[in-house]
Amino acid sequence: MKPQVNQDPGHKRDSDVPPMTETVPFTPLEEAIFYIERMHGPWNVQFEVETATRIDADRLRAAVIAACNVHPLARARKQPHDETDVRCHWAIPDAIADLPPETVTVADGLTASDISAFYRSRFDPVEELPFRVLVDRGEGHDDGDRVHICSNHVAADGVGGAQFVRSLCRAYRGDDLDAEPVSLSTARTVMGDDSPPSPRTALALLGDALGSLGTALREPARIAENGGDETEGWLFERRRLDDDLTERVLEAPPAEATVNDIMLAALHHCIHAWNREHGEPAGRISVMMPLNLRPREWFYDVVGMFTAIGSISTRRRDRRHPRTTLQTVVEQTGRIKDRDRATIPHEVLKLLPTRTPVGLKEWVPELLNGLGRRFVDTAVLSNLGRIPAPAPGFAPEDDPTFWFSPPSFRLAPVGIGVATVDGTVHVTGRYWRSEFDADAAAAFTDRYLDCLEAVVA
């Protein structure tokens, strides 16, 4: 690939950038997440793969390098910027031959606090690659290892992170890796990441904003605390659906409902029941739902951030019965899945003047304080769908096990991640430790599965 140097007027050439390096401007969505992380803490994405084998550290490092070399953004680092620059930029070398320190770590006897710290640690995008790997000795299948992969959300969404993990596993097994089906520049062109909003989209933005203003100004319910301490970070709970529930969710969903609709409806009911049990109100419940915007031709390919963010809300009367909740969810997701409406949160980020300095842009996330908390959802749910073959695994004999969760944070302390691998649905609960203790995290996860049963009963 011939290097291309972006000539954006706000870009300053950096003499430290080595030759054969492509410089790529951040998309508006990448910039937004970058500023949110700087102001409010990391939005790192969690992945885990259990294996029956003992991981060889050198072989794993070589596999990370191989995976980075087929996915451009996986080997990208952020160029330093001045407060007067108008864009942030990635520096993407044609290839890498080694890794920054601590990209791969192998350890014994890790505690829940150690695991939390691994995912909680903020990436330095200037010095680090967007992925780091931690091997937990003896915590996988049959005394094999558990491999944790932490993904920087600025560079990759859940689908992009999962694609990197699949490539990492294949490289470790010795399989040849396929190049991404489209170049990064083509992918961004298809997604329209750098184009200004069209007049039609601008009008849609205004109409949707006015239409939802009354709802948005009512702060969503907050999930009742149970235990917890002053520690920041997360607890993780992992569940596989049994065969009967898997069949009802995947093969026989209620009419017009998708697997994602079912998962969302169950989470709304779970929060409602949890708050009622703990004596907390649950008026309007709002769940953040990432939406993969990639075209069907490469729906599970290309490491990058190609996601829109939607919010699905229910009121008390919508939760009188699980099927009523499901119908309410189906109506809303149907509107969000319309391509133009799906990109609206994405397009909003382009409305800032193009010459706005980075030093001013980074203060935009302060809107999350005060009045802005009214726009922060109750919880987060992300469903990766059916992960394509070959399934993630570090050895041919591995029983495919793949855990994933989106970021959660203090106002939205629960993040539910769903991934279907080789016909098995994996559900991961991610709980903010200041709101939940270990018993509460396990109880909430079990209740969520009970609510899932009720939705498909």
Q: How many CB atoms lie within 10 A of CB 317?
A: 8
ω into residue 42 within 30 of 0, thus cis?
A: no
User: For residue range 119-175, what is the model confidence (pLDDT) as tens digits?
Assistant: 999 999 999 999 999 999 999 999 999 999 999 999 999 999 999 999 999 999 999
Query: What is the per-residue DSSP string for 172-238?
Result: HHTPPPPPPSS-HHHHHHHHTSSSPPPHHHHHHHHHHHHHHHHHHTSPPP-PPPBS--S--SEEEEE
pLDDT over threshold 70, residue 17: no
| Sign (positive or negative) of CA dihedral 362, 367, 369, 372 | negative
Average pLDDT for residues 302-331, to the nearest whole number?
Answer: 92
Nearest alpha-carbon partner for 347 in 191, 161, 233 = 191
- 21-191 and 199-384+408-455: identical CATH topology: yes
- The mean of the pLDDT values for the chain is 84
Confidence category of residue 414, pLDDT binned at 50, 70, 90: very high
> What residues does each domain of the chain span?
21-191, 199-384+408-455
pLDDT over threshold 90, residue 28: no
> Of residues 365 and 267, which shows the higher confidence score?
267
Query: Which residue in this structure is represented by tokens 């995290």?
Result: 441
pLDDT over threshold 70, residue 198: no
Nearest alpha-carbon partner for 228 in 75, 79, 7, 443 = 443
Rounded Cα distance between 64 and 164, Å, is 9
Check if the beta carbon of residue 4 is closer than 8 Å to that of residue 185: yes
| 194: Cβ contacts below 8 Å, ≥ 6 apart | 25, 27, 188
Buried b (16+ CB within 10 A) or exposed e, 64-94: bbbbbbbbbbbbbbbbebeeebbbbbbbbbe
What tokens appear for 370 in the block? 């005060």
- pLDDT, residue 5, reads 32
Write 312-318 long-range contacts (CB < 8 A, 24+): 312/264, 312/268, 312/286, 312/287, 312/336, 313/215, 313/220, 313/284, 313/285, 313/286, 313/287, 314/268, 314/284, 314/285, 315/283, 315/284, 316/272, 316/282, 316/283, 318/268
pTM (whole model) above 0.95: no
Nearest alpha-carbon partner for 398 in 104, 166, 235 = 166
Nearest alpha-carbon partner for 316 in 286, 284, 279, 287 = 284
| 286: Cβ contacts below 8 Å, ≥ 6 apart | 220, 221, 311, 312, 313, 377, 378
pLDDT over threshold 70, residue 195: no
How are strands ordered across the β-sheet holding 77-78?
Answer: 21-25, 89-93, 77-78
Least confident of 214-218, 253-257, 421-425: 214-218
- pLDDT, residue 416, reads 98
Rounded Cα distance between 250 and 248, Å, is 6
Question: Which CATH superfamily hosts domain 199-384+408-455?
Answer: Nonribosomal peptide synthetase, condensation domain (3.30.559.30)
CA dihedral 356, 362, 363, 364 (to 10 degrees): 70
Q: Which of 3.40.50.300, 3.30.559.10, 3.30.70.260, 3.40.50.1220 would CATH assign to domain 21-191?
A: 3.30.559.10
Question: Over the Cα atoms of the chain, what is R_g?
Answer: 21
- 3-class DSSP assignment, residue 75: helix
Q: How many CB atoms lie within 10 A of CB 63?
A: 24
